[in-house]
Amino acid sequence: MFQDLLNRLIQPHPDPIADGDARLALTALLVRVARSDNDYSGDEKRLIEQIAQDRYALSPADASALRAEAEAMEAEAPDTVRFTRAIKDAVAYEDRLAVIEALWKVVLADGQRAQEEDALLRLVTNLLGVSDPDSARARQRVSR
C-alpha cells in the first residue's frame, strides 16, 4: 500500500514530496521513535494524534486515521537510516526541525528518557541534517 511512496523516498535523488505524503512519512517517523523502546503506549499514540492535529489542523478522527496509516507505513519502511535520509532529501529544514521538536515530545511523554529512544533520536537528528544545538533547543522548548 505504501510501497510507491517508500520507493519514491528511497530513490538516489528523490523529488520533494506532496504535503500529504510528507505528513505520512513524518508521522511514521514519530511512530518509529515511539516504538523504539518496545513500549508503544496509548499515551504515545494520543500524543502523536495531538501533534498531527496541531501541526496539520486535522480533526481528531483524521489525526487518528493518519496515525494508523503511519503505523502501517512505519512497519513497511526500510531501516531507519535510509528512511530518515530519504525524508531529509524530500522535506524542508523547517519541517524537519518541527519534527525533531515533536519527536522530543514523544520521547518525553512518559516522563522518562529511555536509552533506546535517546539513541534513536540522536541518530534521527543527525540523519535529518538537524544540528545538535537546534535539537537541544527543541528539547528545551518541549520540556518546559
Tell me the pLDDT band of 130, cut-offs 50, 70 and 90: very high
pLDDT value at residue 107: 84
User: Global pTM?
Assistant: 0.80
Tell me the pLDDT band of 11, cut-offs 50, 70 and 90: low
* In-domain check, residue 126: yes
Angle formed at CA 10 by CA 9 and CA 15, multiple of 5 degrees: 45
pLDDT value at residue 125: 93
Domain that residue 61 falls in = 16-142
How many distinct structural domains can be found in the chain?
1
Element (H, E) at 76: helix 60-76
* In-domain check, residue 4: no
CA dihedral over 73, 79, 81, 85, signed as positive or negative: negative
Place of cell 526541525: 97
Whether 18 shows a pLDDT value over 80: the answer reads no
* In-domain check, residue 73: yes
The CATH number of the domain where 113 resides is what? 1.10.3680.10
pLDDT of 57-92, one tens digit each?
Answer: 999 999 999 999 999 988 888 778 777 877 787 778
pLDDT of 90-111, one tens digit each?
Answer: 778 888 898 899 889 888 887 7
Tell me the pLDDT band of 134, cut-offs 50, 70 and 90: very high
Q: Which three cell numbers stand for residue 134?
A: 537546534
CA dihedral over 19, 24, 29, 31, signed as positive or negative: positive
Tell me the pLDDT band of 13, cut-offs 50, 70 and 90: low
pLDDT value at residue 62: 97
Classify residue 13 by its DSSP letter: S
